[in-house]
């Protein structure tokens, strides 16, 4: 379960299908995420596993809690590139979603 303002070492796990592109051809991956308020975030991928049909990876959340700033439904799309520098575009996944719950009540001061 993900909560607003979660931070490292918490991570988001992704598994997406690659569509018409062989996933093993992707050397660069970028995840674009839209928060419920509409603000856009760009995330890197770690622990990437590529197959012809799918890509599985994680994104370790920022230490400052800024990767999940609010509760609600987040939309994301994964972009695949033929190079590590992400200049040669291959394909993009379908848009998908994940849900973030409100932050837990903190400890007393």
In this model, does residue 107 exceed pLDDT 70?
no
- Give CATH for domain 11-100: 2.60.40
What confidence score (pLDDT) does residue 1 get? 87
What confidence score (pLDDT) does residue 64 get? 92
Is pTM beyond 0.75? Reply is: yes
Query: CB neighbours of 103 closer than 8 A, spacing ≥ 6?
Result: 3, 4, 5, 71
What radius of gyration do the chain's Cα atoms show? 15
CB burial readout 81-97, b (16+ within 10 A) else e: bbeeeeeeebbbbeeee
Question: What are the domain boundaries of the chain?
Answer: 11-100
DSSP state of 3: B
Over residues 9-45, the pLDDT tens digits come to 999 999 988 777 888 888 999 999 999 999 999 998 8
Over residues 60-94, the pLDDT tens digits come to 999 999 999 999 999 999 999 999 999 999 988 88
């Amino acid at each position: 379960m993900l909560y607003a303002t979660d931070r490292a070492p918490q991570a988001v796990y992704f598994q997406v299908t690659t569509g018409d592109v062989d996933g093993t051809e992707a050397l660069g991956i970028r995840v674009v995420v839209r928060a419920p308020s509409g603000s856009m975030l760009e995330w890197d991928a770690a622990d990437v596993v590529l197959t012809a049909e799918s890509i599985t990876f994680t994104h370790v959340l920022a230490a400052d809690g800024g990767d999940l700033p609010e509760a609600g439904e987040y939309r994301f799309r994964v972009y695949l590139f033929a190079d590590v520098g992400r200049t040669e575009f291959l394909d993009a996944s379908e848009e998908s979603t994940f849900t973030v719950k409100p932050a837990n009540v903190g400890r007393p001061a």
